[in-house]
Amino acid sequence: MQKVLVANRGEIALRVIRTCRDLGIRTRILAVATRAKCDAVHPGYGFLSENAAFAQAVVDADLVFVGPPAAVQRALGEKTTARRIAREAGVPVAEGTEPLADLADARVAARRIGYPVLLKPAGGGGGKGMRLVAREEDLAPAWRMSTGEATAAFGAPALYLERAIERPRHVEMQILADQRGSVVWLGERDCSIQRRHQKLIEETPGPAVDATLRQRLGEAAVRVARAAAYRSAGTVEFLVDASAGFVFLEVNTRLQVEHPVTEMVTGLDLVALQLRIADGEALPFAQADVAPRGAAIECRITAEDARAGFVPTGGVVALVREPAGPGVRVDR
């Protein structure tokens, strides 16, 4: 692999470019990959990174897509299919439904499952369009709002229901899988501190994760990855209750914003590993070789109006002062 098109912008584009330069790979941004005679396309995160049609188009153009195959993205991107894959792999899932036909169907299912329930888009995750419904009288307005948000975010209004877990911790496991069947987990990231289902703080080790739970979560993540024929970097997410029980949530079939948290404690370059896997190389280490050291935390800085309920807001950035010191990493 000699040249990679980076199909993204901003911090993640710079992050991928930095690793490509370290590996001696030339990059192109906002150019047609075939015209630039690239070998591969790296989608970064967001935008095209979980777009199965784009992944397939890259392959159809005789280029390498740096990420999981389109078929894997489609299967794991449809959340009820992902739940089915996890369940068949022996991984616990919360009681839930298939995509619902209409509001009446949702009412019947919610009564069967028992309130509170989560109303969630079937076509995608990331907290978009998700609603916690505590009472039956709240279901109709939640259905209307979630349908609209699901259509806007994922191009499909389909929703499903899932039993809500009281005060869970949101814990995700970073995985890597090569094209030869090897899959490893690199540890957890606790991302329980969120606003409107969007992550604000990610940290490792998780404050409620001991060695036994970490092993159980890692093994469950690997089972899901193997069942889905996963390849590349990805994240398997779980909800963990107060008694250390857990259920499968979803799989993010891409590099995530918070991947530096894992890199800081493992010493691994996840982008470099993505590129090597895409180029057909085997993982250069086994599960027993993964030995995280220390702790890392990432905090997202958001542009919001705190006096108006933390709604997103725009404006001029008058001053930026970057943190510095031992153990501090700034990606730019």
Catalytic one of 189, 254, 293, 321: 254
Q: For residue 64, what is the enclosing H or E element?
A: strand 64-65
Q: Which residues contact 306 (CB under 8 A, 6 or more apart)?
A: none
Is 254 an annotated catalytic residue?
yes
Strand residues in 102-182 grouped as ranges (E): 117-121, 131-133, 159-163, 169-177
What is the per-residue burial (b if ≥16 Cβ within 10 Å, else e) of 161-178? Answer: bbbbbeebbbbbbbbbbb
Distance CA 120, CA 185 (A): 27
Backbone torsions φ then ψ of 301, nearest 5 degrees = -95, 125
Distance CA 163, CA 185 (A): 27
Q: CB under 8 Å, gap of 24 or more: what pairs does 102-109 form? A: 103/139, 103/140, 103/143, 106/139, 106/143, 106/159, 106/161, 107/136, 107/139, 109/161
Would you tell me how many other CB atoms lie within 10 Å of the CB of residue 298?
20
Cβ atoms 86, 110 nearer than 8 A: no
Instruction: Supply the DSSP symbol for 93.
Output: B
Cβ atoms 278, 232 nearer than 8 A: yes
Amino acid code (one letter) for 128: K
Residues annotated catalytic, as ranges: 254
